[in-house]
Chain A
């Protein structure tokens, strides 16, 4: 079974540019989550999709971040325009329904310069 796939693995962009991160969950997993780890800090929840619907987006930092999950399959997280403080590692995870079934991707390291 393929795991959770994220790409790109690394992205370096200039402040003010736009970046789109993609996550392909495990096939059949209705739940998809985005998390972020800013350098040296805790991994923080951003949002949760159930199929194509946003179940909880309480962790989204501001309106420069837009997440979509068209058709309930893969998801994208767009940052526009990017700021320096957006640098960090963005993790995606998917699950069927229970917490112990969570599978994380390897993350996208975003650097805004």
Chain B
């Protein structure tokens, strides 16, 4: 089946610290991979995506590389800011239908 497993939270970091949120997936075929972010009081927003193996998605200083050999799509940022505090969801879409499969979400709090 299709599923996403991501690092449990909550995660608390100091400003300017390095962030990694692990995400691994199980899927039939060749899915596209996504990171969504939910800021407090807002909806889910697409943060970045990758559609094939070895692609790197990037946005707002965040990066994730689609690793087919390890079935992973870990999210990284070199220097987090207080404004990055949010819940981050890893997700996949098989491209044969429009359904997303999400992970459980990782809550990130960045303290000054």
Contact = CB atoms under 8 A, between A and B. Distances in A.
A101 to B, nearest CB: 9
A56 B97 contact: yes
A42 B43 contact: no
A45 B49 contact: no
Given A4-B43, A91-B44, A40 B98 contact: no
Nearest to B99: A45
A106 interface: yes
Contacts of A42: 4, 101-105
Interface residues of A, number: 26
B105 A104 contact: no
B70 to A, nearest CB: 21
B42 interface: yes
Contacts of A99: 32, 34, 93, 95, 98, 100
B105 A37 contact: yes
Interface in A56-100: 56, 59, 91, 93, 95, 97, 99-100
A44 B102 contact: yes
User: Chain B interface: which size bin?
Assistant: 20 to 34
Contacts of B45: 104
Contacts of A45: 99-101
Interface in B16-50: 32, 34, 36, 41-46, 49
Given A42-B103, A42-B104, A43-B105, A33 B46 contact: no
A4, A97, A99, A107: residue with the most chain B Cβ atoms closer than 10 Å: A99
B42 A102 contact: no
Given A42-B105, A43-B89, A43-B105, A106 B43 contact: yes
Interface of A: 3-4, 31, 33, 35, 37, 40-45, 48, 56, 59, 91, 93, 95, 97, 99-100, 102, 104-107
Given A43-B44, A97-B98, A102-B100, 5 more contacts: A48-B97, A48-B99, A95-B98, A100-B46, A105-B43
